[in-house]
Amino acid sequence: MKVIALILAALAGTATAADCGPDKLNTSRTITLKREGAAYGANQNAVLPLAKGEVVLTFDDGPSFENTPAVLKALSDQCAKATFFMVGQNIAQQPELARRVVREGHSAGIHSDTHAHLASFTVEQQLEDLKRSRAAYKAAFGVETPAYRFPFLEETPALLDALKQANITVASIDLGITDWLPDDTTAILAQRLSENLDKAGSGIILMHDANGPTAKALPTLLQVLKDKGYKVVHLEWQ
């Protein structure tokens, strides 16, 4: 039985490799970052060591029962890996979906516990929000969170200091597609992505897996990346 299982596993691996041929976007390489209080994303911080034409796919606000599975399917169909910055309360409500994201080869960080404007909180409230989101992450994954993205990209001194002390990487962005507007369509999102790629040339892309129009548009967005010759770089942490 054990031998049969090994054969089936090998065949599954072969099929997966065959599915990820040159007709797919694929993941060109992986950057493994140290678990340290670094900060990346040219919008606010240092630039990741990316070559021109390399992008990192990131998604915020999930996991979403309604939309994250569609995002995972689109990524799987194109053999592309991404990083998901999850809201603590959503992790607590959907722990199995959160774990599925990681099982499928993606990496995960946190995006606060409540997705509030943290700058309006007291320092104590900010730290409590971080504590709750870290606890939700550890309960779901069994390890400490390696990375954090501020909601609305609104960094605060108190949380920057706390994250640095905890060796948690701050992940900002290099470009986005403003995919939270009510009138978004696949065509509009694809145009925004194309235009912003032309301006930036590379970098960390912000999208939202909790957003229905984004989930619907993602196959087209990934095709835009492929058609324009961009290479996907996956972020992981030691």
Non-local CB neighbours of 8 within 8 Å, separated by 6+ positions: none
pLDDT the model gives residue 183: 86
118: containing domain: 23-237
Given the DSSP bridges, would you call strands 107-110 and 39-40 parallel, antiparallel or unpaired?
unpaired
Beta-bridge mates of residue 109: 85
Cα separation, 70 vs 67, in Å, equals 6
DSSP assigned state of 152: G
Provide the residue type at 112 as one letter.
S
Exactly one of 60, 129, 174, 209 is catalytic; name it.
60
Does residue 4 lie within any of the structural domains?
no
pLDDT the model gives residue 182: 80
Does residue 34 lie within any of the structural domains?
yes
pTM (two decimals): 0.92
CB-based burial label for 12 (10 Å; 0-12, 13-18, 19+)? exposed
Exactly one of 106, 111, 115, 208 is catalytic; name it.
208
**Rg, C-alpha atoms of the chain:** 18
For 111-157, how does the pLDDT look when each residue is reduced to its tens digit (9 = 90+)? 999 999 999 999 999 999 999 999 999 999 999 999 999 999 999 99
Non-local CB neighbours of 232 within 8 Å, separated by 6+ positions: 25, 26, 27, 28, 54, 55, 56, 57, 80, 81, 225
Residues of the chain with pLDDT > 70: what percent? Answer: 92
Cα separation, 19 vs 78, in Å, equals 9
Number of folded domains that form the chain:
1
Does residue 9 lie within any of the structural domains?
no
Does residue 17 lie within any of the structural domains?
no
Cα separation, 183 vs 144, in Å, equals 38
Does residue 120 lie within any of the structural domains?
yes
Provide the residue type at 214 as one letter.
T
Q: Which CATH number is 71's domain given?
A: 3.20.20.370
The mean pLDDT value for 34-46 works out to: 94
Catalytic-residue membership of 208 = yes
For 58-78, how does the pLDDT look when each residue is reduced to its tens digit (9 = 90+)? 999 999 999 999 999 999 999
